[in-house]
Amino acid sequence: MKGLFFLSIFLIGLNPVCAQEIDNDLLQIKKRMDSIKSYDAQIKLDVDISFINMPSKYGKVLYKQGETTKVTSEDFIMLPKRGLDLTLNEIFKYPFITVNRGEANQKGVLCKVINLIPTSSKSDFSIATIFMDTKAKRIVKSEISTKMEGVFTTYLDYKNYADILPMKIEVEFAVNSVKIPLRFLGKETEVDRKALKQEGSKTGKIFLTLSEIKIVK
Amino acid sequence: MISLIRSEIYKISKQSKTLYALAAILIIEGFVIMSAYYQGAGIIDLLLDNLKDSFEFRGNLLNGNLIIYLILNSLWFHIPLILMIIISGFLTSEYKDKTLETVMLQPVSKLYFILSKYIVSIVFTLLIVLILAVTTFFISYWIFGYGDLVVYLDGLNFFKSDDAFYRLIYAFLSGSITMVFFSVVSLTLAVILKDATKTWIVSAIFLICSNLLLKIDFRNDVINELFFSKLTDSWQYFFYYEIPYSTIYFKNFMLLGYSILVMVIGVLIFKRRDIQG
């Protein structure tokens, strides 16, 4: 009887973080994003990784509903594997449930925080935390733990309150260092990949700045 | 002096070893391009392997600029070795064929004679580097096209195609000073040793030791900065993200000083020595 009492208290305590199918605010944001039929914008990419020196790169980002976001450039560019899914299509590709984690302040904005837990083994992420500006109906931060590629933290900055797409995107991730001499072709380039992998990982950042954004709804 | 230089140029143009030098350079280029064609994608793949988890790549890094950079790296060993063998032969062949004695029977100053050898050797060296650069740029861009250059030097440095083009040109110019140094050394060794085989062996040992000493830390700032072997890598500094121009100028200035010193030693030894094969 005593055990049943404590179990009841425990279940009542769990109520605020009770799992639900999909958070309503997230669905509202998704609905808003789905109103975009296509968009294109000029994009500037800056890499901030301790062992990489790369000048600012420029390109064009193009999205059409039902297709993946494409980035084109005349230069060699490095794109983060996460962070460009502004319409949330990748997240919504496979089913998941959401868990309300309360509220948190993100760059002066009081955000609703939810966890996304996939219910399909096909999903490429294991858990995601989304910080939503429910008043402006947009996402300001996300932390996505992928199954194969590590954790990607994305910060989204918007120019105006009504903007649906961000002007600046900052993607943070863990990256392994490289130490390969590229002097000659031949034996000197034969290195132990395992040893390289075992070296400590570092935090890398990539900054994406969008301009001349043209949205078709 | 001018007529002596003309005479030396005429001799070089008629010698088969000049053609061998050009052929050797083209063969080296051919090998590097072939290796890049078959292995290049694998090397780029290896270089960016650790970044693949976090990034997707757009664009081609196996392009003309990377091939030029790889051929440029033959300035570490292959090109100076060929130059040292060919240039030392300019004098040792004269000892061997006894043509030196014939020349000295004419009213020719020993100083002007050996100076003309040094001047022509320097011109020959610059010409070889120029031919290497021109053919490398032409063939590499023709086969592999343009694109960003990636170099691993204290990290991964990416350069835009236009920037890479200028860096590669400057690297060839700076590298030509290093090649001149090795050429002058080989001619001085020829003055000292006279015999072709001995000169080739000593030249090769000098080059190997110079490359090995470059990597050794002498734990003394003066030696680390002023020792000749530490000055032969100035051309690589163009591939640091921020080019350290003052270091490049200093190294090249010092190496030119060493070249003049080695040349003066060679001239003095040649002047004081009896001409006998």
Domain boundaries of chain A, sorted by first residue: 18-216
pTM of the entire predicted model: 0.82
Cβ contact B156–A80 (<8 Å): no
pLDDT tens track for B122-160? 999 999 999 999 999 999 999 989 989 988 887 788 999
**For all residues of chain B together, what is the average pLDDT?**
87
Residue A18's pLDDT is what?
45
pLDDT tens track for A104-116? 988 888 999 999 9
**Average of pLDDT values for A123-149?**
89
Domain parsing of chain B, residue ranges: 8-272
Does residue A151 belong to the interface with chain B, where contact is any CB pair within 8 Å? no
pLDDT tens track for A160-174? 888 888 999 999 987
Least confident range of A32-41, A81-90, B173-182: A81-90
Least confident range of A195-199, A202-206, B265-269: A195-199
The Cα A73–Cα A84 span in angstroms is 15
Q: How confident is the model at residue A2 (pLDDT cuts 50, 70, 90)?
A: low
Higher pLDDT, B251 or B152: B251
Side-chain-side CA neighbours of residue B149 (13 Å): 27
Q: How confident is the model at residue A184 (pLDDT cuts 50, 70, 90)?
A: very low
Class of domain A18-216: mainly beta
The Cα B54–Cα A176 span in angstroms is 9
Q: How confident is the model at residue A3 (pLDDT cuts 50, 70, 90)?
A: low
Which chain B residues contact residue A185 at CB under 8 A? 32, 35-36, 39-40, 43, 70
**Average of pLDDT values for B238-243?**
92
**Dihedral, CA atoms, B196, B197, B201, B203, nearest 10 degrees?**
10
Instruction: Kindly give, in sequence order, each residue whose CB lies less than 8 Å from that of residue B139, ignoring residues fewer than 6 positions away.
Output: B29, B33
Higher pLDDT, B249 or B55: B249
Inter-CA distances, A54 with A1, A48, B145, B151, B244, Å: 67, 9, 21, 11, 17
Q: Mutate which of B34, B37, B53 to disrupt the A interface (most A C-beta within 10 Å)?
A: B53
ipTM of the complex: 0.77
Does residue A55 belong to the interface with chain B, where contact is any CB pair within 8 Å? yes
